[in-house]
Amino acid sequence: MKRFRLVLADNDGTLINDNHELTERTREALEKLHEKGYMFGLASGRTVADLKTFPKNWGLSFDFDMIIGVNGAELWDGFDNKLYQKNFIKPDKIKEIYKRIEPFDYTIQFIRDDKYYFNRLDEFSMASMSRNGQQKARVLAKIDDLWEDSVSKILVRLPAEKMPEFEQHFRENPIEGTVSYKTQPFIYEFMMAGTDKTNAMKDFCRIHDIPLEEVISFGDTSNDNGMLRDSYGVCLLNGSDDTKAVSKEITEYDNNHDGFARYVEKNLL
């Protein structure tokens, strides 16, 4: 296989399993990539502030070289120790999104000032609060607080059986100036147009003179599509059909059976 310089991976559904765990095999694969001289970056819908804690939490001996956060609204350059932010959703657009999703049975989550906000407490919000720390989670006192200030993205949680109807509604009736897509079977996200992991990837590569042909990326669902399409994209076996369609390869194993680690061991180490 050709020589790559940068390995870029999504987190949920790609690096970690469905129990939100990084397995020992995957941790060892990341260590060996670092020892071999590969640059490594994480690309996720989570914030850069959260993702910067992962190396320590995962027991890695190194920090990431770059991080793409909030699906491309944030880019952290580890070489320059610089954070870039762009394309936040303005209050008037937030209000428009809310009015469109109001008829559905949903839970809203968004991040503001590095805190997680929810419109209500349910099983999903309680689990998220537990994972991310109660001190970082808030429940909106009133729905008007949702559009009090700009946000990087809006995440909507709804029953998986309702997702096809929800997807179809916004596919046929998109909100002008936004991009939106399913990121998990029960999660749908809204961002401003132009917010994409691939744009952040290209920005980092341009800054450091890395040809896209020397980037191999891993993902599993629609918010990874541009990144996988514009580099040497590898989709996890558990990935969505649209993501598999834009990828160069599909792993032999899914994220619950070390699909990323097994591919890396076979092809990059």
CATH number of the domain bearing residue 259: 3.40.50.1000
Range of the domain at 247: 6-86+195-267
One domain, residues 143 and 157: yes
- Residue whose tokens read 């609060």: 129
Would 219 be classed as within a structural domain? yes
One domain, residues 201 and 186: no
Q: In the listed set 192, 213, 240, which residue is the last one of a domain according to the structure?
A: 192
One domain, residues 151 and 227: no
One domain, residues 120 and 202: no
One domain, residues 129 and 219: no
> Whole-angstrom Cα distance, residue 100 to residue 181?
15
Would 224 be classed as within a structural domain? yes
- Three state DSSP letters for the chain: CCCCCEEEEECECCCECCCCCCCHHHHHHHHHHHHCCCEEEEECCCCHHHHCCHHHHCCCCCCCCEEEEHHHCEEEECCCCEEEECCCECHHHHHHHHHHHCCCCCEEEEEECCEEEECCCCHHHHHHHHHHCHHHEEECCCHHHHHCCCECCEEEECCHHHHHHHHHHHHHCCCCCEEEEEEECCEEEEEECCCCHHHHHHHHHHHCCCCHHHEEEEECCHHHHHHHHHCEEEECCCCCHHHHHHCCEECCCCHHHCHHHHHHHHHCC
For residue 124 the two structure tokens come to 């999903």
One domain, residues 173 and 108: yes
Q: In the listed set 192, 215, 244, which residue is the last one of a domain according to the structure?
A: 192
**pLDDT for position 34:** 97
One domain, residues 168 and 99: yes
Maximal CA-CA distance, the chain = 55
CATH number of the domain bearing residue 126: 3.30.1240.10
Would 151 be classed as within a structural domain? yes
Would 1 be classed as within a structural domain? no
When divided into structural domains, the chain yields a total of 2
Would 218 be classed as within a structural domain? yes
**pLDDT for position 58:** 97
**pLDDT for position 37:** 96
Q: In the listed set 192, 218, 248, which residue is the last one of a domain according to the structure?
A: 192
**pLDDT for position 125:** 66
Mean pLDDT in each 10-residue stretch from start to end of the chain (269 residues)?
Answer: 90 95 98 97 91 96 96 94 92 94 87 81 69 67 91 89 92 92 87 92 97 97 95 97 97 98 97
How far out from the chain centre does Cα 12 lie? 7
One domain, residues 106 and 185: yes
